[in-house]
Amino acid sequence: MSSLQRTGRWVSDHLIMAIAIVVLLYMFLPIFFVVLMSFNEPASKLSYEFDAFTLDNWLNPCQQKGMCASVVTSLQIGFLATLGATVLGTLVAFALVRHRFRGRSATSLLIFLPMATPEVVMGSSLLALFSSAGLAGSLGFWSILVAHIMFCLSFVVVTVKARLAGLDVNYEQAAMDLYANEWQTYWRITFPLVFPGILAAALLSFSLSFDDFIVTNFNHGNTITFPMYVWGAAQRGIPPQVNVVGTVMFLLALTLVLGGSVFQRRRPA
Amino acid sequence: MPDDSARRAEAGADLTLTSVTKTFGGFTAVDSLDLVVEQGRFFALLGPSGCGKTTTLRMVAGLEEPTSGTITIAGSDITRLKPYKRPVNTVFQNYALFPHLDIEENVAFGLRRRGVKDVKKQVDDMLELVELGGFAKRRPTQLSGGQQQRVALARALINRPQVLLLDEPLGALDLKLRRQMQIELKRIQTEVGITFVHVTHDQEEAMTMADTIAVMNKGVIEQMGPPAELYDQPATTFVSNFLGQSNLVRAEVLGRTGEEVVVDAYGNKLGAPAARARRSQGTVWVGVRPEKVFLAGAGSEPRDGSNLLSGGVVSDVSFIGVSTQYLVRMPWEQELTVFEQNSGAREAFSTGTHVDLHWSPAHTFLLDADQDAHAGDETYAQLVAEANA
Amino acid sequence: MSVAQAGAAAGGRVGARGGSMASGDAPTPRRRRSRTGYYLLLPGMLWLVLFFAVPTVQLVATSLYDPNGSLDTGYAMTWSFGNYLDALADYREPFLRSLAYAASATVLALLLAYPLAYAIAFKAGRWKNLMLVLVIAPFFTSFLVRTLAWKSILSDNGIVVSTLQALHILGPDGRLLATSVAVITGLTYNFLPFMVLPLYASLEKIDLRLIEAAKDLYADGFTAFRKITLPLSMPGVVAGTLLTFIPAAGDYINTKLLGSPAQNMIGNVIDNLFLVQLNYPIAAACSVILMVAIVLMVLVYVRRAGTEELV
C-alpha cells in the first residue's frame, strides 16, 4: 500500500471519530459558557458577555431574591414527582410485561402519546381542563406536581419495561424451585434485578421534572420553579448565579452517572 | 425389611406419572404419559427437541401444570402443588444462577428459604463435592460454563430433594467437558443416592449415564428400559434410528417356525428370533445395527446360519479412526450402512467392490412396516429440510 | 427500536443492560391470567386518563367554544368550527414557520448526530460508555440555562459573530441573534441527544459480520454503508427524527430567547393566546391544529420509513 493510500486509510478510519469529537465539543460548548459565566461579573443587568472574573457568585449564590427559593421548589416538586411517577410507572410496567389484560393496544397508545405530544399542547390542555373545572384561580404547587407526574409516567414505564422484559424468567422459576414463594421470589430475585431500571427511570424522571418549563408555565399559578425563574429573569436581567446553579446541576448529575457506571462495572449485576 | 426400607426412604423416592397430558391451545405437548421412576435410579428422558421431554420435566418441577393426569412422589400427590412446596429441585439448562448473589448465597438459597440458619458448613461441603471448594465468594459471571453448571448442581443437591431434575444441563459445554461431567454426574448420583431425572436429546449421553431410558417422541414414550435393551431390541423405527443407527430393509413374512420368524427381503431369505419380532405377519422392516454386519467379497462362503444380503456394491468408504464406515448400495437401490472395527485383521474394501452382507440372525429385529423408516433419523431429516429449503 | 424506548434511553442507558443470560430453550414468560394486571394498571392509567386524555378532549372542546366569552363570564359551547378558520387565517405564518424550523433543525440534527452515533457504536471501543455519558451530560443542565448560554455565544460582540464578520459572511452590522439562524441553531442543539441516542441504539444492534460479508463481496466502505448500515439503522433514524421534530415544532423558548417576534413560532402564539390574551377558544384551536399537523406528518413519515411497536 502506498503511503498516500495509507494516509487515506488513516484519514477515513479516523474521520468519523474526528467528526464525532467535534460534534461532542459542539454539544459541550454552551456548558463551557455556563461554567465560564458563573464566574462572570456582568457590567450591566442585561449583559450576556464575559466582563470580569469574580468568585462572588459562588460565594453568595442566594444573593438574588427568589432564585434559591425557586431551586428549592424545583427540588421539592422533582422529588415528589419522581416518587409518584416511579411508583405508578413501575406498577404499569409490571402489568404490561407480566400480566394479561384486555385493551393492550389502547393502553400502549395512551402511554406512548404523552411522549409524542408537544409540551405546548399538553400544558395548554391541562390548563383548559383546570379552568373548565373552575380551578383556574388555585393553580400552584399541586397543579405543577400533577402535570409532572403525568408526563414522567410514560418514560418510567418504558424504562422499567425494557429492563423487566430483558429479565430472564428462569431466575424466578429457579427461585420458586428452591422453596421461595411468590412474595420471596419477588423481593429477593425480581426486584433486585429490575432495580437498576427503576433507578434509571427515577433519575430520568427527576431530570425531566426539574428541567421542565413549558408545561409548568401553563399551570403554575404563582409558584416559581427554577426554569420559571430563569425565564422571568431573562426579561429583567439574568443574575450570574443562575449559571452557578446550572454548573452545580451539571456536575452533580455527571458525578451520579459516572459514579453509577463505575459502580456497575465493579459489581456486575 | 426395615433396613432396606430405611435406606430406600433416604435414597430418594418413586416418581410416578399417571396419564399426564399437557396441551397448549390446540397443540398436545405431552400425550397421556405413564411413567414410573424407581427411587435411587438415574433416569433419562431422551428425545428430539419438541418431543415433550422438557415439558414433562417442568410439570414434575411444578413450573407447568398438567392439563390432566396425576404426579406422585413416594405416594403423595403433588400434581397441583406449587414448585416451592415440592420435594423436587431442578438444574436448569442455562443454570439460572442468580447474578446478584455470590456463589455461597446461590448455593444456600434453598436452605435459607426453608429457615436453616447456619449454612456455611453445608455449603462448603457441597462445593467440595462438586470440586469448587474456595469459590464461595465469587460471582456467577466470573465462572466458566462448566463451573457454573457445577454450582447449579450444588445449589439443587444441597436441599436433598427426593427427586433431582436436570434439564439438558450439559448442553452448553464443549465435548470434552461434557464427557467429563457425564462421569461426574453419574458418580455423584451413585454416591448421594438421590433419584435423578435427566432430560437430554443426546442419545450417547443418555446411554452412558442412565439406568433407565425413556425415549419420547411427539408427546408419547416410544420405549422405556435399560439402555442395552433399547439399543438391542428397539420397539419402533423411531427408537431404532434415534438410538444409534439402524439398517431397515423391507421384507415379507413367509412364516414362523418355532422360535424363528422367516422373511423374504428382495429375494433374500432372512431369519429373526420370534422374541425380537414386534410384528410377525405381513410386511415388516428387517432391522440390524451397522456394527453387527460383516462385509465379505461377493460370492464368498457365508458362515452357516447367517443372514445374507447379496449383490451389494460399496459406494462410500469413510475412515473414522476406530472404525471404517461403509455405505453399500443394494440392487433395490437402498444404501445400507456397515461399521467395521479397524482391528487390522483385514484390508478395507474400496469403492466399487461387489460385496455380500451377512450377520447373525440373533442380532436381527423386526419392526412394523407401517412405521416410517426414517422416523428418528435426524441426519435424514436435515437432508430433507435442506433439499426443501 | 421503539420510539419511546429511544427517548427513555436518554436516562436509562446506565441501568438498562444486564440481568439476562444466553437463553437456550428458555420458555417465554407466561402472562398470568389473574386480575392482578388490572389492579397494577389502574393507578397509573387512571392518572394518564385524568390528566392527559381528558384534558386533550377538553382542549378539543375548548376549541369549539364561543370566542366571545372570557374566563370571567365563562364560555359557551357553540360548536364554533369557525375558530379553526380564524386560527389558520391569523396564524398561518407562525404555523408554517414552526414546521419549517422544526424540519430544518431535524435535518441538521440528523447530519450531526449520525457520525457521532456511528462513532460510538463502531469506533469507540472501551470509550463507548464514557461517550454516551458525554452525550447525555449536557441534558442535565437546565434547558433554559443552556439556551441562554447560546445567547452569550451568539451575542453581537461575541467571538462567533466577530469571526463571521471578519470572514465577510456577515455584514459589519450583521447579527446572529434575532435571526432564524439563531433559532434553528438553538433548536438543533437542544434536541441533539434525542437524535443521537435512538440512532446509537439502532446502530449498535447491527451485526458487524454483515458489513464484513458485504466487504467480502467486493463492496467498498461507502457502498457497504449505503446498502447495509444505513437501511438497518432506519428504525433509529425514524425514532430520532420523531423525537426531534415533534418537540421542536411546539417549542417557543428558543424563539423567545434567541429570536425576535419576527421568528415567532406557533408555540409563542399559543402561549400568548392562553396566558396573555386569555383567548382560550382560539388558543385551543391553534393547539389542536398543531397536534393534528404533527400527527399527520408522523403518520406519513412512519408509513414510508417503517417502524416497529411504539412502546
Does the beta-carbon distance from B96 to A269 stay under 8 Å? no
Q: Which residues of C sit within 8 Å Cβ distance of B?
A: 18-19, 21-27
Q: Please give the span between the terminal C-alpha atoms of chain B, in angstroms, as a whole number.
A: 62
Q: What is the CA radius of gyration of chain C?
A: 23
Report d(CA B305, CA B292) in Å as an integer. 15
Alpha helices in C154-309 (DSSP H): 159-166, 180-204, 208-216, 221-224, 230-232, 234-250, 253-258, 266-275, 280-305
Contact B209, B42 (CB under 8 A): yes
**Neighbour count for residue A247 (Cβ, 10 Å):** 21
Q: What is residue A48's three-state secondary structure?
A: coil
Residue A169 contacts B, CB cutoff 8 Å: no
Task: Please indicate whether, in this complex, the C-beta atoms of A179 and B94 are within 8 angstroms of each other.
Answer: no
Distance CA C282, CA C271 (A): 11
CATH architecture observed for domain B244-388: Beta Barrel (2.40)
pLDDT in tens, C3-25: 344 444 443 333 333 333 333 33
Distance from CA of C29 to the nearest CA of B (A): 11
Neighbours of chain B (3+ CB pairs under 8 A): A, C
| Contact A264/B at CB under 8 A | no
Extract the C-alpha cell encoding B46.
431422551
Query: Which pLDDT tens digit goes with each residue over A70-119?
Result: 999 999 999 999 999 999 999 999 999 888 888 888 888 889 888 878 88
H-only helix segments in A99-190: 104-116, 119-132, 141-165, 170-177, 182-185
Which range, B108-112, B170-174, C120-124, is most confident?
B108-112
- Cα gap B386→B378, rounded to integer Å: 12
| CB-count exposure of residue C254 (10 Å: 0-12, 13-18, 19+) | buried
- Contact present, B324 and B318 (Cβ < 8 Å): yes
Instruction: Quote the CA–CA distance of C120 and C133 in Å, as a whole number.
Output: 11
Q: Which CATH number covers residue C124?
A: 1.10.3720.10
Of B322, B330, B389, B335, nearest to B355 by C-alpha is B330
Q: Are A130 and A139 in contact (CB under 8 A)?
A: yes
List of chains touching A (3+ CB pairs within 8 A): B, C
Given a cut of 90, is residue C111 above it in pLDDT?
yes
| Ordered alpha helix ranges (H), A48-103 | 56-59, 67-98
pLDDT means per 10 residues, chain A with 269 residues, are 73 81 88 84 70 79 83 93 95 90 86 86 88 82 93 92 88 94 93 89 89 90 89 80 86 81 61
Q: Read off the pLDDT band of B133 (50, 70, 90).
A: confident
pLDDT of residue A46: 65
Alpha carbon distance A61, A245 (integer Å): 8
Helix (H) or strand (E) holding B36: strand B27-37
% chain B with pLDDT above 90? 58
Residue B166 is predicted with a pLDDT of 94
Cell 405543577 belongs to residue? A144
Put simply, the chain A residues between 184 and 213 with a CB less than 8 A from any chain B CB are 184, 189, 192-193
Chain C contacts of B95, Cβ < 8 Å? 21
Tens-digit pLDDT profile for residues A25-43: 888 888 888 888 888 777 7
Q: Examine the pLDDT at C275 and tell me if it is beyond 90.
A: no
Residue C271 domain flag: no
Helix C234-250 and helix C180-204: axis angle, to 10°? 150
Contact between B193 and B10 (Cβ < 8 Å): yes
Using left for φ > 0, alpha for ψ between -120 and 50, and beta otherwise, residue B337 falls in: beta
What distance in Å separates residue A17's CA from the closest CA in chain C? 5
Residue C268: Cβ within 10 Å count:
22
Residue found under cell 437463553: C23
Which residue segment(s) compose the domain that C231 sits in?
A: 3-8+91-263+297-305
One-letter-per-residue 3-state SS of C182-206: HHHHHHHHHHHHHHHHHHHHHHHCC
Closest alpha carbon to C58 in A139, A129, A131: A129
Q: Which residue has the cell 454516551?
A: C132
Residue C124 lies in a domain: yes
Kindly state the percentage of chain C with pLDDT values over 90.
11
C-alpha to C-alpha distance for B259 and B225, rounded to whole angstroms: 23
Looking at per-residue pLDDT, the higher value among B54 and B302 belongs to B54
Integer Cα distance of C38 and C53 in angstroms: 19
Specify the residue for cell string 421542536: C248
8 A C-beta contact, residue B62 and residue A176: yes
Q: What size, in residues, is chain C?
A: 311
Chain A residues with beta carbon closer than 8 angstroms to that of C149: 29-31, 33-34, 37, 243
What cell was used for B94?
442455562
CB-based contact (8 Å) between C120 and chain A?
yes
Q: Cα separation of C145 and B273, whole Å?
A: 94
Within 10 angstroms of residue C68's Cβ, the number of other Cβ atoms is 12
Mutation choice for B interface testing from C21, C23, C28 by most B CBs within 10 A: C21
The Cα-based distances of A195 to A86, A186, A200, A202 in angstroms read 11, 12, 8, 10
Residue C53 corresponds to which amino acid?
Answer: A
What letter would DSSP give residue A248? H
Topology of the domain covering B2-232: Rossmann fold (3.40.50)
Classify domain A65-238 at the CATH topology level. Answer: MetI-like fold (1.10.3720)
Residue B370, SS3? coil
**Contact call for B63 and A189, based on CB within 8 A:** no
Is C15 close to A163, i.e. CB distance below 8 A?
A: yes
Q: Chain A contacts of B88, Cβ < 8 Å?
A: 177
Kindly give the pairing relationship between strand B283-288 and strand B247-257.
Answer: antiparallel
Q: For residue range C229-253, what is the model confidence (pLDDT) as tens digits?
A: 888 888 888 888 888 898 899 888 8
Interacting residues of C124 by C-beta distance below 8 A, sequence separation 6+ = A17, C131
Q: Is A263 on the interface with C (CB under 8 A)?
A: no
Task: Read off the C-alpha cell for B179.
Answer: 464427557
Please report residues of A whose CB lies closer than 8 A to that of C119. Answer: 16-17, 19-21
Backbone phi and psi for residue B46, each to the nearest 5 degrees, phi listed first: -115, 140
The number of distinct structural domains making up chain C is 1
The reply to whether C217 falls in a domain is yes
Note the ipTM here: 0.82
Q: What is the distance between the alpha carbons of residues B167 and C24, in angstroms, rounded to a whole number? A: 11
Q: B61 and A168 in contact by Cβ < 8 A?
A: no
In whole angstroms, give the CA distance from residue C29 to residue A173: 10
Closest residue, chain A, to B84 (C-alpha): A179
Categorize the per-residue pLDDT at C87 as very low, low, confident or very high, splitting at 50, 70 and 90.
confident
Nearest to B28 by CA among B3, B55, B58: B55
Choose between A160 and C32: higher pLDDT: A160
Question: Shortest Cα distance from A209 to chain C (angstroms)?
Answer: 11
C-alpha cell at position C282: 382560539
User: What subunits touch chain C, counting only 3 or more CB pairs under 8 A?
Assistant: A, B
Buried b (16+ CB within 10 A) or exposed e, A33-51: bbbebbbbebeeeebbebe
Look at strands B88-91 and B260-265 and give their pairing.
unpaired
CA dihedral B341, B342, B345, B348 (to 10 degrees): 100
Say whether pLDDT at B229 is over 70. Answer: yes
- In whole angstroms, give the CA distance from residue B247 to residue B330: 12
Per-residue pLDDT, B8: 42
Can you give the residue ranges of every domain in chain A? 3-56, 65-238
Instruction: Indicate the domain borders of chain B.
Output: 2-232, 244-388
- In this prediction, residue B6 carries a pLDDT of 45
Q: DSSP letters along C70-120, please?
A: BTTTB--B---THHHHHHHHHHHHHHHHHHHHHHHHHHHHHHHHHHHHHII
Whether B231 has a pLDDT exceeding 90, the answer reads yes
Confirm whether pTM is higher than 0.90.
Answer: no
Sign of CA pseudo-dihedral B318, B319, B322, B323: positive
CB proximity list for C311: less than 8 A, separation 6 or greater: A96, A108, A111, A112, A157, A158, A161, C2, C4, C5
Interface test with chain A among C28, C40, C101, C162, by most A beta carbons within 10 Å: C40
**Cβ contacts (< 8 Å) between C123 and chain A: which residues?**
16-17, 20
Q: How far is Cα C123 from Cα C132, in angstroms, rounded to an integer? A: 13
Rounded-to-integer distance, Cα B184 and Cα B205, Å: 12
HSE, CB side, 13 Å, CA atoms: give it for residue B197.
32
Cβ–Cβ below 8 Å for A116 and C43: no
pLDDT confidence of residue B365? 92
- Under DSSP, the state recorded for A40 is B
Read off φ and ψ for residue B124, nearest 5 degrees: -60, -45
B19 φ/ψ sector (left φ>0, alpha ψ -120 to 50, else beta): left
Tell me the C-alpha distance between B264 and B270, whole Å: 6
Asked if the C-beta of A166 comes within 8 angstroms of chain B's C-beta atoms, the answer is no
